Amino acid sequence: MLFKQRPFLKAERLTGRSAFNVLFTLVISVTIASCLPNDDNNSSTDFDRSELLNNYSDNIVMPAYEEYVASTNSLLTVINEFALSPSDNNKLLICIEQLKIVSLKWQLASLFDFGPASDYALLEFTNSYPTSTDDIEAAIGDESWIAGQASNIDNVGLPALDYLLNEDGALDKLNTNPARVEHLVRQAEFLNEQAELVLETWQSSYQSYFVSMTGTEMGSSIGAMLNAFNRVFEANIRKQKLGLPSGVSTFSGNPLPSHVEAKYANYWSIDLLYEALLSIEKVYMGNSLSSNSIVNKEVGFDDYLISLGDEAFGLGLNNDIVAQIQSSKEAVLSLNDPLSEFVITNQESCLSVYSELQALVVLFKVDMMSSLGVLITYQDNDGD
């Protein structure tokens, strides 16, 4: 079923637009947003924000981290097993299969880039790509190599593991170079350790703090969560997964096929983008991880908007967001892997999909944040 969206939110193609028009559009959007209710008293005094935070904490954030950590544990286990017999192609395939599971689990966990995740730079150390293969090669056999340093951000995490496991001739390279296998294990250990640190901090102290900060002001849990939600969607999903590879986010307008996610696996990019959209939908609607339906039974940000009443900035905005999420999901499914080839042969199709994602940016970042009285505390500098 196709949903009808608000005409003024239908994202126009960004190619060919002048810098002046981009700036003018942004100014108009902010002006419109300033006309919407934006103080805490207008964000529905009857809405129970405590119930909202408890639902997110207990049914979404904690389970997401738990499932992600469990998947990194499993990845480390199978990589250690492979290290005992690095000539076994079946064991290598098991490692690759588990790496994809970890990558899919990461899509939801990545949306919570605040609190402990921000403190440990989990997002940056887990999935900064394209990875630096030169730095990875230089680290192999280097006993002084230490993960977790700022200089390692672009040569650790999921992209580094993708390179080591999925590059051409990976089995032969690993089988003939014990130092390469050792570095593969070090990479898996670091990925797992970072995830466990964040989960343990949530369990030991941050969860109780999170549910106690029920306001919408700067420093509140809702403010932190929604800012992370918007920032990750805007920069790490819309731009990084599709905008840069397709060329829409580059100065030249030329595709950058080497910037796709999971470049060496080659056939995961669309799956990961679609999973990211499913995660956005789940978080927006407040659906628990155990829910297999998009029918919302738990309290989410959609309920928060609906509580504002039968208004354009309340129920109407929720309807537009739900419709645009559906439209974006359908658009992503029109793409084909390998995305690294599709962005070259079907650039116009990619730009059309990007416009659907851009429409969601406006709905989330401008309309929803203003309606809920939450201040944007991050800055996007890429001119979108």
CATH (domain of 86): 1.20.1420.20
Domain contains 49: no
Only one residue has tokens 């504002």, namely 308
pLDDT-wise least confident of 23-32, 186-195, 256-265: 23-32
16 to 167, 257, 378: CA distances (angstroms): 36, 21, 27
Task: Pull the structure tokens for residue 256.
Answer: 């950058």
105 to 173, 187, 284, 325, 360: CA distances (angstroms): 28, 18, 17, 20, 22
Domain contains 345: yes
Distance CA 308, CA 191 (A): 42
Average pLDDT, the chain: 89
Q: 299 and 194 share a domain?
A: no
Q: 87 and 182 share a domain?
A: yes
Report whether pLDDT(97) > 90.
Answer: yes
Q: Single out the residue in 161, 179, 207 at which a domain terminates.
A: 207
User: Nearest Cα to 157, choosing from 212, 198, 195?
Assistant: 195
Angle in degrees, CA 161, 166, 171, rounded to 5:
105
Over residues 47-58, mean pLDDT? 96
Domain contains 2: no
Q: 222 and 338 share a domain?
A: yes
Q: 194 and 226 share a domain?
A: no
Q: 243 and 200 share a domain?
A: no
Structural domains of the chain, count: 2
Q: 148 and 221 share a domain?
A: no
Q: 229 and 338 share a domain?
A: yes
Q: 264 and 175 share a domain?
A: no
Domain contains 86: yes
Domain contains 166: yes
Over residues 311-318, mean pLDDT? 96
Terminal-residue alpha carbon distance, the chain: 29
Q: 361 and 341 share a domain?
A: yes
* Residues of the chain above pLDDT 70, percent: 85
Report whether pLDDT(39) > 70.
Answer: no
Over residues 138-159, mean pLDDT? 96
Q: 140 and 262 share a domain?
A: no
Non-local CB neighbours of 328 within 8 Å, separated by 6+ positions: 277, 353, 356, 357, 359, 360
Q: Single out the residue in 146, 178, 207 at which a domain terminates.
A: 207
Report whether pLDDT(265) > 70.
Answer: yes
**Structural domain harbouring 183:** 57-207
Q: 250 and 278 share a domain?
A: yes
Q: 195 and 277 share a domain?
A: no
Over residues 37-53, mean pLDDT? 68
> What pLDDT score does 34 carry?
45
Q: Single out the residue in 172, 207, 242 at which a domain terminates.
A: 207
Task: Pull the structure tokens for residue 71.
Answer: 């998947």
Q: Name the E strands within the chain.
A: none
